[in-house]
Structure 1
């Protein structure tokens, strides 16, 4: 069973958007998936409650307390974890120690990538990551194609040893899906084809 942790100490990076849409992508192809919420705001759990029954089922798990980690995981193919902010709490350290993949969303802003670099350096020092038992994947999130900072973001992170895996565009569709309890992979229409294509490098990475 894969445990995919979505985490960053920098708020507003779109952590829950990545977590919910990744869970949908895995569930839509027939996997038994749970979405574990370890963030005190419980946005992912609220999203699960709004999810229409006609779409692929995704179980919601409340992992906001360290004692609840690992509950109700039997028979699952994958767990996507909407992680807490920061590395200081024992909860965050426990989740990272359990993860097979760690996804770190970052915005194309100097304020965001400087904070994220410190966070990535902190993750890299954790034993499980240092020994290569968990892979870190950096996702450029809420990207505006016209922004000149995207290339600078990717260059800065690559120079520090954290290449950007994929770019996820800033689209109104994500906000609509968040409100409806759905994701971009629930609908296979031509209009969202380009949006779904941006996720393929990420899906390939968590499959290996």
Structure 2
């Protein structure tokens, strides 16, 4: 199975929104999908409990207590909602489970130092250095302002990682979080909303 870790050492960057949306997007294509929640708040599993019957199935895994039981299927996807403040041995354990590491980046000068340090620590891990896992940086909660765009360009240049895509800051994501749904569930969100996710989905295929 392909294992995708969504993580940042900085809380409040939208990890759970990315994890749940990606899980639902791949489930909508008919893939076998698991959503592993490694955060003590268990927000992803809470979202999954609210998910209406009749929508594409997503299987939940509770990793919040440190146990990382991995499904034995040869095909499918496991999306791992990593904990905030991730560092040390816990970080190494989760990275060791991952084929791809999605790092949400917010256009905030206050958050940037923590994210930059986290990316540096990731790059030094053995699994990353050996090319066994790829780091994908995604700009999240982006507003339509020139200031945000300039800050994102600066952050991408300093990090050494290109921004794969930009996910806009929209009220629709809060609504979906409350109902256990996502923008890919019927009725699907407008095309311009979905288009922002396509580069990330293609990179994980």
TM over 0.5: yes
Q: Distance in 2 between matches of 1:98 and 1:199?
A: 23
Identify the range of structure 1 (139-148 vs 32-41) with the bigger mean alpha-carbon deviation: 139-148
Q: TM-score scaled by structure 2?
A: 0.94
Q: Distance in 2 between matches of 1:45 and 1:147?
A: 36
Q: Distance in 2 between matches of 1:130 and 1:149?
A: 31
Identify the range of structure 1 (14-23 vs 73-82) with the bigger mean alpha-carbon deviation: 73-82
Q: Which runs of 5+ in 2 are unaligned?
A: none
Asked if structure 1 preserves the Cα contact closer than 8 Å seen for 2:40 and 2:65, the reply is no
- The alpha carbon displacement at 1:159 in A equals 3.6
Q: Distance in 2 between matches of 1:148 and 1:95?
A: 34
Deviations 1:150-184 (A, max 9, x none): 23222332243111110000111100100010011
Corresponding residue for 2:129? 130
Corresponding residue for 1:193? 191
Corresponding residue for 2:6? 6
Q: Distance in 2 between matches of 1:100 and 1:88?
A: 18
Q: Distance in 2 between matches of 1:177 and 1:41?
A: 18
- The alpha carbon displacement at 1:149 in A equals 2.5
Residue 83 in structure 1 maps to residue 96 in structure 2: no
- The alpha carbon displacement at 1:73 in A equals 4.5
Q: Distance in 1 between matches of 2:146 and 2:72?
A: 41
Corresponding residue for 1:103? 102
Q: Which runs of 5+ in 1 are unaligned?
A: none
CA-atom RMSD in angstroms: 1.5
SS in 2 for 1:142: strand
Q: Distance in 2 between matches of 1:98 and 1:181?
A: 26
Corresponding residue for 2:138? 139
- The alpha carbon displacement at 1:79 in A equals 0.3
Q: Distance in 2 between matches of 1:42 and 1:97?
A: 21
Corresponding residue for 2:38? 38
Q: Distance in 2 between matches of 1:156 and 1:47?
A: 31
Residue 64 in structure 1 maps to residue 103 in structure 2: no
Q: TM-score scaled by structure 1?
A: 0.93
Q: How many residues align?
A: 205
Q: Distance in 1 between matches of 2:135 and 2:200?
A: 11
- The alpha carbon displacement at 1:29 in A equals 0.5
